[in-house]
Amino acid sequence: MNGDEDTPRANTPARLREALVDEVAARRSLLGPPLSPRVEAALRTAPRHLFLPGRPLEQAYADMPVVTRTDAEGVPTSSVSQPAMVAAMLDQLRPEPGHRVLEIGSGGYNAALLSELVGPAGSVTTMDIDPDVTARARSALDAAGYDRVEVVLADGEFGLPDRAPFDRIIVTVEAWDIPPAWPGQLARGGRIVTPLRLRGLTRSLALEQDGDHLVSRSDEMCAFVAIQGVGESPVLRIPLYGAEVGLVLEKGPGIDPVSLAGALAAPRVDLHSGVELGPVGPLSGLDLWLACAFPGFCLLTATPWAVGHGLVAPAWAAGTPALAEGGAFAYQGAPEHAGHGPLRAEFVVHGHGPGADDLAARLAGQARVWDRDHRSGPGPVFTVHPAGTPDDRLPGGFVIDKRHTRVVVTWP
């Protein structure tokens, strides 16, 4: 099923789709495990443009997410995900022909790919809490010829007990926690893939049951719209300069917004860590290591205007690792040239407020610990235990307590 025909014109859906998948496959081969042949075949078949009606073909076949719905404040609530991220999560999920799959968070395109992967002997059910999203998904799936996919309007927090068990469960929205329904509706030997928010950072985790808990088999950096309904958990935002610069953190004690009110006006502290960035090793674990190292970890966000006017110089304006205590904060700055070649740069730290020099030194120091002890290692392992599990029954590591679970991040 591909819903289009090739023609001699240059920008047909088929030609653009082939170019897109070539790009995704080439990048995966350079940066990590190669794209699996089955997922690649599905990407070359499912017509992404039919799940983005009215959008230009060039947009539909760009390796970019496309927002399809926003709330009253303009915050995205639904999207068709970036193809490279879709491919990575499908490789994490490893659906096989004949599998029963539940997708939580609908858009239609991912469900079409899943249908290709499980084949006629399998089944795909996609669910969403938003009736407009499910209606759009149903229409697009029918137009593309995937009428076997079932679309359900419901809150994903509770799964679909009347259709369980599922061999695979994939969540395509950012979840703050893993409710009991998800592992409870998983078949023996099954797998859950979900983007899980951990102290403001999001990782797509491939999880399998191991006794009374879940254990990760792989993880990927990712970004998704937040889950809605019973499972939603908004982050806390602390303004540092109106809406232009702020700190984002999980709700809880430890950071006083009032004491930080004038911090940005204080002179900036600059500190070089000596940790090189660039082509000297993977960096996907650094921000997570920093998140596990400090109770006051948060993310600094800034608008293009704030960066352009020099108010802050973050590594990533959408959310760069930061540390806040008392009336000061420090954050990872935009990488600076390390003097050892055009592709080498250095982890730098900036800070503002009384005590910012100490915060900057601690942030840089933990970057050096990660660089020395974990940069070349296998990366963290995530285990997800039921809430109430005693500390002495948890593995060693950093514990993140949530509503339903206790997540432990362990660094081998």
Residue 406: half-sphere exposure toward Cβ, Cα within 13 Å: 17
Q: Look up residue 175 and give its DSSP letter.
A: B
User: Hunting for tokens 């359900």 — which residue is that?
Assistant: 152
Are 409 and 398 in contact by the 8 Å Cβ rule? The answer is yes
For residue 259, indicate whether it is catalytic. Answer: no
Task: Give the contacts of 190 (CB within 8 A, at least 6 positions apart).
Answer: 165, 166, 167, 168, 169, 208, 209
| Active-site residue (options: 78, 81, 115, 123) | 81
Annotate 90-105 with b (16+ C-beta within 10 A) or e (fewer): bbbbbbeeebbbbbbb
- Residue by residue, pLDDT tens for the chain (412 residues) are 555 554 445 689 999 999 999 999 999 888 778 999 999 999 999 999 999 999 999 999 999 988 887 787 777 778 888 999 999 999 999 999 999 999 999 999 999 999 999 999 999 999 999 999 999 999 999 999 999 999 999 999 999 999 999 999 999 999 999 999 999 999 999 999 999 999 999 999 999 999 999 999 999 988 888 999 999 988 899 999 999 999 999 876 668 888 998 999 999 999 999 988 765 444 568 999 999 999 889 999 999 999 999 999 999 888 999 999 989 999 999 877 655 555 567 889 999 999 999 999 999 999 999 999 998 888 899 999 999 999 999 999 999 999 999 999 999 8
